[in-house]
């Protein structure tokens, strides 16, 4: 069977650290070209733009997008119009409306498309989801606290309009919780702390619930330079489930559970491969909707300026 010929648009940190290694490790894919205006990708043809890749590069069947969300909409539209399958790094777009339009276009074009909420593929997530399916939920506490200087050095787009700020990592937690819970969540209130020299929040406190009044709370901090924390604790009538390290570790009532050792992005590309084979798509909008609603109803407090260095 011939491999899926893949083009990559954007070759920054996430593409270099996660996407390219996962692609190269999956025999179903062959990375044949990259569109980047920065550091070139070794071993494949490099182009300055998606248009140049499509017009002058080797034939591709699918394209993975790793550019910042601002401006990505038009690029994904172009790929879909060319009949290419698409994988879109999270968050898929700068606005919910753009993401909704891509859902419609992918369906119209009859191609496979994936909004890659990579944290849903962490090793403990599916086991946790299965366990929770038969339990009586009481509350959910999310704590997602990390150091932006470590994970996004010099990436000023995060602080610009559409960059999401602390919701860039926070949306990972929301993607997990919306996958774990059967009923959709709704934002009741949000407190957004915005540095006075930025357009996006550096920290946030969110209160959510579902139709059964489940108490779901989230604390996001993007300026947490010590003891980074990515945890979700679900209290049930029958016990307490906890995910740590972004879902890589799972414990139930304090007892560590055995989980797969497959990495998130390896699982993402395996899922993309399956979608293409089955002529399907996976374009969930719930995590982005919760972020949009947090901005919509959130109260904003100005805090001290943020400096990357």
Active site residues: 90
What are the helix (H) ranges across the chain? Answer: 13-14, 20-24, 50-56, 72-81, 96-109, 125-132, 148-151, 167-180, 264-278, 286-297
Round to whole Å and give the CA distance between 161 and 241.
36
Q: What are phi and psi of 166, to 5 degrees?
A: -65, -20
> How many Cα neighbours within 13 Å face the side chain of 213?
0
Rounded to whole angstroms, how far apart are CA atoms 218 and 187?
A: 11
With a CB cutoff of 8 Å and minimum separation 6, the contacts of 74 are none
Dig out the tokens for 183 from the structure. Answer: 């009923």
In sequence order, the β-bridge partners of residue 221 are 145, 203
Q: Write down how long the chain is.
A: 309
Q: Enter the DSSP assignment of 184.
A: P
Residue keyed to tokens 């070209």: 33
Distance CA 97, CA 28 (A): 32
For residue 124, what are the CA distances in angstroms to 121, 155, 176, 227, 243? 8, 30, 10, 21, 7
Phi, psi (rounded to 5 degrees) for 107: -65, -45
Cα–Cα dist 256/259, whole Å: 9
Q: What backbone torsions phi and psi does residue 295 show, to the nearest 5 degrees?
A: -70, -35
């Amino acid at each position: 069977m011939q491999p899926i010929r893949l083009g990559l648009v954007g070759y920054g940190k996430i593409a270099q650290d996660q996407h390219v290694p996962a692609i190269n490790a999956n025999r179903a894919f062959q990375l044949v070209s990259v569109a980047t205006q920065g550091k070139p990708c070794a071993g494949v043809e490099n182009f300055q733009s998606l248009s140049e890749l499509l017009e002058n590069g080797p034939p591709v069947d699918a394209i993975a997008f790793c550019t910042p969300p601002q401006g990505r909409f038009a690029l994904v539209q172009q790929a879909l119009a060319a009949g290419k399958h698409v994988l879109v790094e999270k968050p898929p777009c700068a606005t919910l409306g753009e993401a909704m339009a891509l859902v419609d276009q992918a369906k119209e074009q009859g191609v496979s498309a994936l909004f890659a909420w990579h944290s849903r593929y962490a090793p403990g997530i599916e086991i946790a989801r299965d366990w929770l399916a038969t339990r009586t939920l009481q509350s959910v506490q999310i704590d997602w606290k990390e150091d932006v200087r470590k994970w996004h050095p010099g990436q000023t787009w995060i602080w610009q309009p559409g960059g999401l700020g602390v919701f860039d990592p926070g949306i990972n937690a929301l993607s997990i919780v919306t996958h774990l819970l059967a009923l959709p969540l709704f934002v009741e209130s949000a407190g957004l702390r915005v540095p006075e020299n930025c357009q996006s929040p550096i920290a946030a406190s969110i209160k959510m619930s579902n139709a059964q009044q489940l108490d779901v709370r989230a604390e996001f901090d993007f300026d947490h330079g010590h003891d980074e924390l990515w945890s979700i604790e679900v209290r049930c009538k029958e016990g307490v489930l906890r995910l740590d390290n972004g879902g890589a570790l799972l414990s139930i009532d304090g007892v560590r559970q055995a989980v797969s050792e497959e990495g998130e992005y390896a699982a993402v590309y395996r899922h993309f491969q399956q979608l293409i084979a089955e002529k399907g798509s996976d374009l969930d909008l719930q995590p982005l909707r919760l972020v949009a609603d947090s901005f919509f109803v959130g109260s904003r407090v100005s805090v001290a300026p943020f400096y990357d260095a």
